[in-house]
Amino acid sequence: MRHHLTLGCMIVTFLITATAAIAADRNPTTHPAATQPDRGVPAIKQLLAQLAADNYLTRENARVSHMGLKRTELPALRDAVRQYLPLVPSQVTVLREIVTQVYLAGDLYVAEEDGRGFLGVHLPEERSLLIVERGVVVVSRLPGFCAYRMLQDGDVLLSMADGHGGAIEFGSSDQLKDAVSSAKAGDTIHFEVLRQGQILSIPITLDQKPVNLDKQIAEFTARRADQANDLWERDFAPLLVETLG
Query: 3-class DSSP state for residue 219?
Result: helix
Give the pLDDT score at 177. Answer: 86
Residues 16 and 123 grouped into a single domain: yes
Residues 157-214: pLDDT tens digits?
999 998 788 899 998 888 998 898 889 999 999 999 999 899 999 999 999 989 988 8
Give the domain range for residue 38: 32-107+213-244
Q: What is the pLDDT of residues 90-119, one digit of tens each?
A: 999 999 999 999 999 999 999 988 888 999
17 and 46 assigned to the same domain = no
Confidence of residue 129 (pLDDT cuts 50, 70, 90): low
Instruction: List CB contacts of 218: < 8 A, sequence separation 6 or more.
Output: 1, 2
Cα 234 to Cα 70, 73, 75, 80, 230, distances in angstroms = 18, 16, 12, 16, 6
Q: Is the peptide bond before 86 cis (omega within 30 degrees of 0)?
A: yes
- Residue 126's pLDDT is 61
Number of domains in the chain: 2
Q: Are residues 122 and 193 in the same domain?
A: yes
Same domain, yes or no, for 196 and 123? yes
Residues 78 and 15 in one domain: no
Among 39, 102, 31, CA closest to 67: 102
**Is there a single domain that holds both residue 71 and residue 179?**
no
